């Protein structure tokens, strides 16, 4: 498909103008005008992570990994998918003394979706 980016600014740091001219305030409308026309007749292609990329469930607010919830299709879902390069994804860590304090309990098996379900659906990362 297509990837695009837009930068507005100077080579040396200085203001573009008034206080409203910062961040995406100026760049976003310009890029949108381009993208609407450029993507108009292109087919919609689901996002596919490149080989080796690890899709991880992340809490939208904290940016930390989530292990007990799954992303939904809601635009502001609290859990989202994020793509990480190999060996860069956040790892689950537990201290030895915390692990020893946990007592094992039995729970009824429940079918939970797994990361491969997302990859098969290919519905996008958000």
pLDDT per residue as tens digits for the range 6-31: 888 888 888 887 777 777 788 889 99
Query: In this structure, what are the phi and psi dihedrals at residue 33, rounded to the nearest 5 degrees?
Result: -60, -40
Structural domain for 33, as ranges: 1-45
Q: Which residues contact 83 (CB under 8 A, 6 or more apart)?
A: 49, 53, 54, 55, 56, 125
Residues of the chain short of pLDDT 50, as ranges, are 126
Q: What is the pLDDT of residue 71?
A: 93
**Residues 69 and 26 placed together within one structural domain of the fold:** no
**Residues 62 and 117 placed together within one structural domain of the fold:** yes
**Residues 58 and 96 placed together within one structural domain of the fold:** yes
What global pTM score does this model have? 0.46
> What's the rounded Cα separation, in Å, for the pair 66 and 17?
41
Q: What is the pLDDT of residue 126?
A: 46
**Residues 28 and 68 placed together within one structural domain of the fold:** no
Q: What is the pLDDT of residue 77?
A: 93
Q: What is the pLDDT of residue 86?
A: 85
What are the beta bridge partners of residue 70? none
What's the structural domain count of the chain? 2
């Amino acid at each position: 498909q297509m990837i695009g980016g837009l930068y507005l600014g100077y080579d040396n740091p200085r203001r573009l103008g008034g206080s409203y001219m910062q961040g995406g305030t100026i760049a976003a409308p310009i890029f949108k005008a381009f993208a609407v026309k450029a993507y108009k007749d292109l087919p919609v292609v689901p996002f596919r992570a490149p080989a080796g990329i690890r899709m991880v469930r992340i809490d939208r607010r904290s940016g930390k990994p989530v292990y007990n919830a799954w992303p939904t299709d809601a635009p502001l879902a609290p859990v989202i998918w994020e793509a990480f390069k190999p060996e860069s994804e956040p790892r689950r860590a537990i201290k030895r003394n915390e692990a020893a304090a946990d007592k094992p309990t039995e729970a009824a098996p429940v079918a939970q979706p797994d990361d491969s379900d997302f990859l098969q659906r290919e519905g996008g990362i958000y």
